[in-house]
Structure 1
């Protein structure tokens, strides 16, 4: 009995758009619905992206891992351009990094491709989870030098609705959600007003 062949890694192409999207959706990632919307999504990033002019021909679009002719891993790459002291800086920003659970041993190959790409001056991952962030550090990445970047900030405009949503997320339902939303909203509204975290003007025009 011969062992299964090693999954192959190759550069991503625009014509992979639908297959990549199907793979990401199968892992629970939110993506545009419908083939046309999905094609437009990737075309905007990989074909019509004005930053491609700064990167030149052969800009890396990402990488896919394939096993038995199907995608089992993907690390997207979005060409961007920034400016420092008036000079363009070629930036490659990560997009939708995902690997099927049966092929997690292939993750380092995708990381090596992203962090080792030659066509970018800076590589950036702005939304990595804590485990993914640790993996990035292993490949020479550095945390963004911005204190509090990882903190999630809220501006609660509807205290009752906010609390009801929180209670539902915790698994509560029915009367507990309704009563908790009303009683909790009184306390939360009072706290926000006393601490200056809520505007005193009417909110009907705020969206």
Structure 2
């Protein structure tokens, strides 16, 4: 019976290594792309201004290569409360995404002795929390269009109305990363169900063979 359990564990590790190596590579790519979106100063843009989660820029008319940018290094530097709350949520979602990617990477690095430990780590909940936190942050950031800084850049802007501004590549990248992370969650759940079916089938066949061998001896 012990041998059956060990063989089932090895089979589970083999299936995890083949699937999680691809998943960890994709998730690490999403972590990198999401970081580019977060630090971008181009979430909303006008002819003379652009601003993002952690920076804002301005430039002379007709010379958008000569930009002057200001970085928001702390929450106190950000224009209003909605901006601060959105930054906290999106940064938290990114950290959870990075943590989830490191956990997936560990499936292919840790030795077989960690098989029982790996099964008890709720990676799916970490991923779901990252998606929900990021979604809330993205929905909350347009409330910052009512701030004085946004109105100076975009004209008569209000909540979910950008005035003369339009969406920049930073905000679009953040949305794109959120969609891909959500899709990975669906694919990962499908892969997990298939993996559990194979594990149960293998364990049943192995235990049956062990019992037959023991009865013959």
TM value normalised by structure 2 = 0.19
* Greater fraction of residues in helix: 2
Tell me which protein shows more strand as a share of its residues: 1
Structure ID, larger Rg: 2
TM-score normalised by structure 1 residue count = 0.20
User: Which structure exhibits the higher relative contact order, with contacts defined as CA atoms closer than 8 Å and separated by 6 or more residues?
Assistant: 2
